Amino acid sequence: MKRILLAFILLSILKSGINQTIKEYYIYCEPTDFQHIYQNYSENIYIPIVIKHNNITIDNARMRIRGDGSRVHPKKSLKVKLDGETFEDNIITFNFNAEYEDKSYMQQYVVAKLFELSGHHCFKAEHVRLYLNDEFLGLYLYVENIDENFLASRNMDINGNLYKAKIDGASLSIYDNVYIIYKMTGLGKE
Structural Rg of the chain based on CA atoms: 18
Buried-state track 109-134, b at ≥16 Cβ within 10 A, e below 16:
beebbeebeeeeebbebbbbebebee
Instruction: Supply the DSSP string of 127-158, one letter for each residue.
Output: EEEEEETTEEEEEEEEEE--SHHHHHHTT--T
pLDDT digits (tens, 9 = 90+) for 42-56: 999 999 999 999 999
Q: What pLDDT score was predicted for residue 185?
A: 73
Distance of alpha carbon 142 from alpha carbon 90, whole angstroms: 14
Given pLDDT bands bounded at 50, 70 and 90, which one contains residue 181?
confident
Which of 103, 100, 74, 104 is closest to 13 using CA atoms? 104
Q: Tell me the one-letter amino acid at 165.
A: A
Q: Among 15-24, 62-71, 126-135, 167-176, which stretch is predicted with the lowest mean pLDDT?
A: 167-176
- Residues with Cβ within 8 Å of 95's Cβ and at least 6 positions away in sequence, in order, are 66, 77, 78, 79, 142, 143, 144, 145
Q: What pLDDT score was predicted for residue 15?
A: 59
Which of 125, 120, 118, 116 is closest to 91 using CA atoms? 125
Verdict on whether the full-model pTM lies above 0.75: yes
Which of 44, 51, 122 is closest to 76 using CA atoms? 44
Given pLDDT bands bounded at 50, 70 and 90, which one contains residue 8?
low
